[in-house]
Amino acid sequence: MDGSRTDFVVRLAGESGEGVLSLGEMLTTALARLGYEVYTFRTYPAEIKGGTVLYQVRVADHVLLSYGSHVDVFVALNEEGYHDNVDSLRPGGTLIYDSDNVPTHELPGRCVIPIPIGTIAKKEIGSVLTKNVVALGAILRFIGAPVEAGERIAEETFKRKGDEVVQKNYQALHAGYNYISQFADCTKPLLHGVEQVNTERLIINGNEALALGAVHGGLGLYAGYPITPATDIMEAVAPILPRFDGVLMQAEDEISALGMVLGAAFAGKRAMTATSGPGLSLMVEQINLAGQAEIPAVIVDVQRGGASTGLPTKSSQGDLNLALYGVHNESPRVVLAPTSVEDCFYLIQHALNIAERYQVPVIVLSDQSLAHRRCTIPKPDLARVPRWDRIVPEPGTNGEYARYKITETGISPMAIPGMKGLAYTATGIEHNEYSDPTYTPENLQAMKTKRFRKLDHLNQHYAEQFVRIWGDPDGADVGIIGWGSTEGVIREAMELAGREGVRAAALYPKMLLPLPVRIIEEFASRVKKVLVPEKNFTGEFAAYLRAQTRIEPISYAKDTGLPFDPEDVKEQIIRVARM
Amino acid sequence: MDGSRTDFVVRLAGESGEGVLSLGEMLTTALARLGYEVYTFRTYPAEIKGGTVLYQVRVADHVLLSYGSHVDVFVALNEEGYHDNVDSLRPGGTLIYDSDNVPTHELPGRCVIPIPIGTIAKKEIGSVLTKNVVALGAILRFIGAPVEAGERIAEETFKRKGDEVVQKNYQALHAGYNYISQFADCTKPLLHGVEQVNTERLIINGNEALALGAVHGGLGLYAGYPITPATDIMEAVAPILPRFDGVLMQAEDEISALGMVLGAAFAGKRAMTATSGPGLSLMVEQINLAGQAEIPAVIVDVQRGGASTGLPTKSSQGDLNLALYGVHNESPRVVLAPTSVEDCFYLIQHALNIAERYQVPVIVLSDQSLAHRRCTIPKPDLARVPRWDRIVPEPGTNGEYARYKITETGISPMAIPGMKGLAYTATGIEHNEYSDPTYTPENLQAMKTKRFRKLDHLNQHYAEQFVRIWGDPDGADVGIIGWGSTEGVIREAMELAGREGVRAAALYPKMLLPLPVRIIEEFASRVKKVLVPEKNFTGEFAAYLRAQTRIEPISYAKDTGLPFDPEDVKEQIIRVARM
Amino acid sequence: MEHTQTLSVETQPIARQPKDYKSDLEPIWCPGCGDYGVLNALFKALSQLNIDPDRTVLVSGIGCSSRLPGFVVTYGFHGVHGRILPVATGIKLANPELTVIGVGGDGDGYSIGMEHFPHACRRNIDITYLVMNNQIYGLTKGQTSPTSSPMFVTKTTPFGNVEGTLNPLQIAIVSGATFVARGYSSMPNQLARIIAEAIRHPGFALVDVFSPCVTFNKVQTFDYYKGRVYEVPETHDPTDKFAALKLAEEEERFPIGILYRVERPTLDEQVAMIKQRAHTDNPSVEHLFRRFQ
Amino acid sequence: MEHTQTLSVETQPIARQPKDYKSDLEPIWCPGCGDYGVLNALFKALSQLNIDPDRTVLVSGIGCSSRLPGFVVTYGFHGVHGRILPVATGIKLANPELTVIGVGGDGDGYSIGMEHFPHACRRNIDITYLVMNNQIYGLTKGQTSPTSSPMFVTKTTPFGNVEGTLNPLQIAIVSGATFVARGYSSMPNQLARIIAEAIRHPGFALVDVFSPCVTFNKVQTFDYYKGRVYEVPETHDPTDKFAALKLAEEEERFPIGILYRVERPTLDEQVAMIKQRAHTDNPSVEHLFRRFQ
Ligand SMILES: Cc1ncc(C[n+]2csc(CCOP(=O)(O)OP(=O)(O)O)c2C)c(N)n1
Ligand SMILES: Cc1ncc(C[n+]2csc(CCOP(=O)(O)OP(=O)(O)O)c2C)c(N)n1
Ligand code: SF4
Ligand code: SF4
Ligand SMILES: [Mg+2]
Ligand SMILES: [Mg+2]
């Protein structure tokens, strides 16, 4: 790391339920407000209490693409956390640990700073609850941040608990801050001033960005059922939506949530739900109904780790198959995947637009690492995604309205209850243009073709805007085709590989169904080899590419519950280049 | 048709609810008992009354592979049925119609026999309910069958309604039989005597064969929820299972049905459910649990037409994707597909075996055309499929039993409640060998690898016995790779193509997941081109083959709600051969 | 639903005839099916209230009975099996001005649909739910339903039904429904009146209708009900929960009419109240960004 | 369940201690969580009945409470969210000799699990169902559940809960459950007794237990229940359905004990009866072939 630049990683590990997450969030916000870029990652046990929480912040004076590979400062607040993570601390890095909880350890080649955090909090401040603020003070001092940065965030965090609590936390902050001064030889500041503090940024995570984007996108009804790691989308929408004349309902389960969404969409509102794998599984039947009866719906799936209940607080990209293929017989659907926190804000608006315009269910595949990745993003452009409205028919005479009219685009103007003379019955039974149940082979062919034609239209007209290419594919040693939350890490890995003489380019389609086949094949034809990295076990995206395109991807599928490590992906790029 | 051989097709069409199906079933059974081979197809509207029912019987003195392309005798009982089907009657064929319902029509090049069926039934017999038996008599006489064949079936069918009803139906039968004699010039008998009547055959359909096979396979619990066209599996099992010490439960929905199956399997019984697409959709979440927690389960999916409610009484092969990929994140499962009515009897036993031995969910993909295809099959060999038992651990000490022990095969001995000292908690959370929730990347990798290893083992050791090859692939112009119920038609189409100088071979894997990749690739390497015909819209199997193998299949996907027509497939074979 | 609140059934000048609600699609039910009576009563009730078909949605599931929306010239949503109530809830929340009526069978509503039934009751969403209860699965050709009688014999219960029979009226009452009635397909005027009252009722209104399946149910036939049904006595106080529960505790004779009727805030009213409480002038996402700076 | 039928609780020589039922896995609940009390009462009840752990299955769904089976040294089935009752039914039907106990939360059982709850009641399957009712979703960090109180504030109901509160006891009673009780996590002996009685009861036994979530529910706390719970009066006749319904119609004070207890044939008994009626000597599939010849 260049001495005059800022780019370092702090990892916090401590007992679940002991305030580690909030310590991480305070630290992150404090640093972001000083003008730094931040990029975080968290993982925690599935239980409410017990087990170790891990929070990692990377801080830099330039845009960040990953949460980093090597830890510069490791803050260990419990023994299990210490043991599980100490190996990640790079040579020359610093260990700060709570000496009340973690026994003394020698760490050759690393600085070691013990702080009796609990003792300070209890004895000096008189409240064990201030432990994490003591730690905050220590960390801020260690990395060279002004204590005021901590004061502001402490005030904000605790002000609703009253002045006394704020004062106690000020004390705690300073106690931690001052305690560190005795370790002067370790404290070579890692923070280097930023030129100018950019206030046109947000410090936000994927779920929050998605929630705001949805509200901005005209959401009329949100129906959901709690499930980790999607719940906080609902929690972010709940206090806001009624102000925008929308309705939020906690349903009795995911089937009901989607039923409410379909009802609301049928009745003319933009509607969505968000869930994770188990919930998406339960929605399969009604997603199909939406495709067949041509009802708009947006379903966000925040993928989590493991099959069945699996690893509910971990991350994976394991639901692609279910999103693409989770339908008996065949009806159209669209699958989108945001690639960054910023993208969450925009892509959900596209999802609402596509659902509305094409009268299809749209599944948005996020994942836990993206959902809870708190980082700095440029303040979103509220005008970037123009609203697409539903195509509605002219008022008519009841009995004459061809709800499922066969058109060139496949889109049939869709009436909204209340419109005059357009009463019709939406149905999941195969039907003719007038929505009457019809069982002939000819009708089946005609209607199924019409319905799928909508996807062709979407693909032909809009595929390009959903594809991002990084680097120059022409003659690249390795062309990476990836999807979803891995984009940043992959870009960083490309850079790392570049330093070792391997040139890579990357293509990220944010629209996975319909798949922009032409663009993908064109990209593949320009690179020497195609590598498809993804966070699952069987290589779902690679198999999908093989099925749908003529390219021959090399799959790198790795399922750990954690995001990719840029170093690890770099190795893969180099390996493939040398194959 | 060679004059001394028997091979003809009778198609019946009439109003739903007017006894057309039972007429078809009586005719089929009567002819089969005379020693002929029969092969039937039926299609009917989704409503209970109204619309047209179609029943087609092909009759021959040799083994039949399809329900035929051309109709020799068309029996029209209502006007709509007449119009929809008259074009299928081949030149030289005969139309028999109910002149009370169908207006007189000229049919150049065809014999036309009007019978006032309703009038005969009402006036002569005194009961309109006997209409279909009047028709039965007429048909039997027309094709040259003895009236006694009709008497026996009429007696059997009506005996539980009392002697008087039987007598009335005798009269009706004879009235129809005699009425026909006036059309002597049309009645060139189509039936030619069979040498010897083989009594070692069954006249049975796919659902019935599957139900018997399951009971023979040791079924301990059947839990189901009614859905067309799977309900009759439950209805066939219901009266039998308690005799074999088994239990049948009608659950409140499909989720509950599968829940009961998992509970029973956990407790040591062989258990299954049967459903169709909408029900399979609802089962997705718990199929995944079965894969993850390693609980045996057999789920039969009798595919029907259309997406969502679609075409519930029609046929398709549209659920392959859902069966293969309907899982969030990834857990192992097995997918089997019977290719014939006979196969239904055996394959369900394999399904129960595999579920039990490998502790996985097994999905069996049948479809409406196979389910309701009543035909003659050789009497099944009850010894052909030996029972595979569950691998259970030795009695132990509670707390020491490694339920999910990592083994070479991936199979961990599974205790059954009641066994001493082996108490454990099955869980869908990611777990270690002792079933304790465990969230580390290393454990995830180890356990997921172990679970999927079971599929590798199954594939390596048993794939071959689930593959049938027809014809000689070496140098064949076209190598067909198909799946499921189309096998017979494809074989017939191959023969037809052969007569036109195109040589085809066919491979049918009855195990679709794990896919016998090596065998398929080997087959493909020996033929000139690979054609994949299937009854769906998007070509699901062809895409799957592209994803999983190195072959380049040509897809022929056709979704009509009806089975393939051998002539149509022949055309495709020839087209591909000439490509 | 302004019109139902400001107008009374009796004085409403009838502008639409029952036949005006009939669509071009012919019902596909078996001749004699009880559902014809329900359909006609619904036509009558709609015309009595002079309901605007363009502002009405019938929501159904899957079953013979669930085909009803296609036969009525209102908006309709013929969804999947068992999900009437979530869909109806979504419609009503999206546009409280609409009259929303769920229509379906006992299998659809009380078997697979049980997931949603008590929840719709407790939410008191302002919709009407009309169940054509024939105590059997019609469309799948005659299997037991949760309301089938003990030892009922079908092809799936050849030894007789050994599951207890559900009492949907009592479940509705204890779950918080505010209007609970029973109708009978062969008492069309009575049924029309009940349906009209149910539609007018602000809150969740269950109308469970005996609607015999003449093809598959050979026990609960029209004959069976003759002499077994009787009108809810005038003396019955429909606001008395326990009296209603007692009346619903049927054994051999079945009360027809309104068993229970009370008022409490509906879900849609409460949601409107929340909107009011949350109200801000010119809400903007720009403004929300501040929380993330 | 021979042992529960032939032995009475009181005279049973205690061979297994409560601690003998404890597994090696440490509960992961927050300190002070009500579920600890339930777990201890269950240990006690099992030991009172001297239940054989190797012949017992605890079935759970997903939630904090649903982690319970792992902490008990019996067989366990920790399935997916909301499906306790189908799985428990399958186990009991497969092997009626087993003692089958469902354990889970109010969200698991009364929200998503509502699909199965009334059906299990009406079937009267001989299992015990223990619901740790904390009136909140614990594991997902505090959202409203169907038993949450009106205007309860959570992150998903920032303006207060506007859905009605379900009464699981009444639903169980009208749906056909034959044993309905309420327990309280802080009354361990009482709770152990109720659980033991529930296990002994032949038929579907619901034990709904107030088991406060100390981390997320700041309304229904241990303090809240103090003074609000009271024992079911001795004078109460648990075979009187309407008396039980009245007792369950709680408002401010909550009766703890057995509210309802009657007997009728269990599902497993009836299934055994069907097997007997269907009995044939040496049944063979060969024989069945005849019907198809
Ligand atoms: C998920 C699902 N499961 C099963 C079915 C099959 N099915 C169609 S209608 C029906 C039951 C019909 O009974 P009911 O609701 O009482 O209506 P009825 O026909 O008696 O009017 C069933 C089980 C289905 N369509 N979807
Ligand atoms: C299908 C599905 N939806 C949602 C979830 C997420 N989830 C886990 S536990 C839970 C609710 C827990 O509440 P409760 O059953 O009352 O248990 P408690 O934690 O309060 O003991 C939910 C919604 C899930 N696991 N599966
Ligand atoms: S089957 Fe029964 S419910 Fe269905 S239409 Fe016929 S009579 Fe009515
Ligand atoms: S979150 Fe609540 S229910 Fe869960 S363990 Fe903690 S106190 Fe108990
Ligand atoms: Mg019904
Ligand atoms: Mg709870």
Q: Which CA distances in Å does C279 have to A272, C130, C273, C275, D142?
A: 22, 36, 10, 6, 25
Longest CA span, chain C: 74
Nearest 5°: phi and psi at A222?
-120, 125
Q: Do C57 and A417 touch (CB under 8 A)?
A: yes
Say yes or no for a CB contact (<8 Å) between A560 and B428. no
d(CA B115, CA B120) in angstroms, rounded, equals: 9
pLDDT reported for residue A2: 46
Q: Scan for tokens 């018997």, then name that residue.
A: B212
Ligand 3 site residues, Cβ closer than 6 angstroms: B 48; C 29-30, 33, 35, 64, 134, 138, 213-216
- pLDDT for residue C4: 37
Sheet bearing B247-250, strands edge to edge: B247-250, B221-224, B271-275, B297-303, B361-367, B334-336, B511-513
When pLDDT is cut at 50, 70 and 90, the band that residue C14 belongs to is low
Res. C191 pLDDT band, cuts 50 70 90: very high
The Cα angle at residue C127 between residues C122 and C130, in degrees rounded to 5: 100
Contacts with A277 (C-beta within 8 Å, 6 or more apart), sequence order: A301, A303, A304, A310, A318, A319, A322, B328, B329
Query: B187 versus A397: which is more confidently predicted?
Result: A397
User: Is residue C25 very low, low, confident or very high in pLDDT (cuts 50, 70, 90)?
Assistant: very high
- Tell me the C-alpha distance between A11 and A23, whole Å: 11
Number of helices (H), then strands (E), belonging to chain C: the values are: 11, 8
Peptide bond between residue A229 and the one before it cis (omega within 30 degrees of 0): yes
Q: Rounded distance, CA B421 to CA D74, Å?
A: 9
The Cα C254–Cα B68 span in angstroms is: 55
Does residue B532 have a pLDDT over 60? yes
- Contact A225/D at CB under 8 A: yes
CB distance D80–A242 less than 8 Å? no
d(CA B521, CA B541): 15
Q: Which residues contact D109 (CB under 8 A, 6 or more apart)?
A: D61, D82, D84, D117, D129, D131, D168
Q: Lowest-confidence range among B194-208, B280-294, C144-158, D239-253?
A: B194-208
pLDDT tens for each residue of B428-477: 999 999 999 999 999 999 999 999 999 999 999 999 999 999 999 999 99
Q: How confident is the model at residue D82 (pLDDT cuts 50, 70, 90)?
A: very high
Tokens at C172, concatenated: 């509705």
CATH number (3.10.180.10, 3.30.110.30, 3.20.20.70, 3.40.50.970) of C29-262 reads: 3.40.50.970
Angle at C56 between CA D161 and CA C66, to 5 degrees: 90
D176 touches chain C (CB under 8 A): yes
Q: How far is CA D280 from CA A32, A309, B241, C156, in A?
A: 79, 44, 11, 19
Q: Which ligand 2 atom sits nearest the alpha carbon of residue A253?
A: 3
Ligand 1 atom closest to Cα of B226? 23
One-letter amino acid identity for C241? K
D136 lines ligand 4 (CB under 6 A): no
Nearest CA among A574, A576, A579, A575 for reference residue A496: A574
Q: CA–CA separation, D284 vs D291, rounded Å?
A: 13
- Collapse the DSSP code of A99 into the 3-class scheme (helix H, G, I; strand E, B; otherwise coil) and give the result: coil
Q: How many CB atoms lie within 10 A of CB D34?
A: 29
Q: Residues whose CB is under 5 A from ligand 6 (ion)? A: D 105-107, 134
Separation CA A363–CA A212 (nearest Å): 18
Does D33 contact ligand 4 (Cβ within 6 A)? yes
Between CA C44 and CA B397 the distance in angstroms is: 71
Q: Which bin fits D269, alpha (ψ -120 to 50), beta or left (φ > 0)? A: alpha
CA of C213 to the centre of ligand 3 (A): 5
Closest CA relative to residue C248, chosen from C136, C150, C190, C168: C168
Cα first-last separation, chain A? 31
pLDDT above 90: residue C10: no
Alpha-carbon span A536 to A314, nearest angstrom: 12
Q: C163: which chain B residues are within 8 Å (Cβ-Cβ)? A: 250
Q: How far, in Å, from the CA of D276 to the mean position of ligand 2?
A: 41
Q: Judge whether residue D132 has pLDDT over 90.
A: yes
Residues in chain D: 293
Q: Which two tokens stand for residue B127?
A: 């009961």
Phi-psi region of A474 (alpha: psi -120 to 50; beta: other; left: phi over 0): beta
Listed in sequence order, the residues at least 6 apart from A380 whose beta carbon sits closer than 8 Å to its beta carbon are A202, A209, A212, A213, A342, A345, A346, C289
User: Residue A118: which of A74, A156, A175 has the closest Cα?
Assistant: A175
Contact B480, B514 (CB under 8 A): no
Give the closest residue to C210 by CA, choosing from C232, C196, C238, C191: C191
Full DSSP string of B113-166: EEE-HHHIIIIIIS-GGGHHHHHHHHHHHHHT--HHHHHHHHHHHHGGG-HHHH
Cis check: omega of the bond before A514, within 30 degrees of 0: yes
Question: Looking at residues B345-360, what average pLDDT do you find?
Answer: 98
CA A473 to chain centre: 26
Task: Give the nearest partner residue to C115 out of D114, D171, D265, using CB atoms.
Answer: D114
Can you tell me the mean pLDDT for B194-213?
89
Tell me: cis bond preceding D146? Omega within 30 of 0 counts.
no
Q: Which residue, among B262, B311, D256, D205, has the nearest Cα to A441 in the 3D structure?
A: B311
Could you tell me the domains of chain A?
A: 7-182 (3.40.920.10), 203-378 (3.40.50.970), 471-577 (3.40.50.920)
* Domain boundaries defined on chain C: 29-262, 265-293
Nearest CA-CA partner of A391 in A425, A354, A428, A366: A354
Give residue B248's pLDDT band: very low, low, confident or very high (50, 70, 90).
very high
3-state secondary structure of B468: strand
Asked if residues B404 and B412 have their Cβ atoms less than 8 Å apart, the reply is yes
Residue B286 has pLDDT above 50, yes or no: yes
Using a CB–CB cutoff of 8 Å, tell me whether A307 touches chain D.
no
* Torsional sign, CA A446, A451, A455, A461: positive
Verify whether the Cβ–Cβ distance A49 to D28 is below 8 Å: yes
Does residue D138 have its Cβ closer than 6 Å to ligand 4? yes
- Please state, in angstroms and rounded to a whole number, the distance separating the CA atoms of residues C197 and C101: 13
3-state secondary structure of B250: strand
Helices (H) and strands (E) in chain D, counts: 11, 8
Would you say A309 and A488 are in contact if contact means Cβ atoms under 8 Å apart? no
The reported pTM is 0.96
pLDDT digit string, tens, across residues D243-256: 999 999 987 899 99
Q: How far, in Å, CA of A224 to CA of C164, rounded?
A: 33
Q: Which segments in chain A show pLDDT lower than 70?
A: 1-3, 185-187, 195-196
C105 in contact with ligand 1, CB cutoff 6 A: yes
pLDDT of residue B186 exceeding 80, the answer is no
* Residue A319, CA distances (Å) to A322, A325, A481, B1, B328 in order: 5, 10, 18, 55, 5
CA distance C92 to C272: 12
pLDDT higher than 60, residue C6: no
Q: Any bridge partners for residue A378, and if so which?
A: A201
Q: What dihedral do alpha carbons A32, A34, A37, A41 form, nearest 10°?
A: -40
For residue B221, give the nearest of D89, D129, D285, D102 by alpha carbon: D89
What is the tens place of the pLDDT at every residue in D205-233?
999 999 999 999 999 999 999 999 999 99
C130 lines ligand 1 (CB under 6 A): no
Asked if A132 and A19 count as a contact pair (C-beta separation under 8 A), the reply is yes
| C58 to A247, A400, A534, C75, C87: CA distances (angstroms) | 22, 19, 45, 6, 10
List CB contacts (< 8 A) between B399 and chain D. Answer: 23-24, 73
pLDDT at A189: 78
- CB B302 within 8 Å of CB B230: yes
Rg (CA), chain C: 20
- Residue B38: beta bridge partners? B59
Bin B245: left if φ > 0, else alpha if -120 < ψ < 50, else beta.
Answer: left
Query: Which are the contacts of B433, defined by CB distance < 8 A and separation ≥ 6?
Result: B402, B403, B404, B405, B406, B412
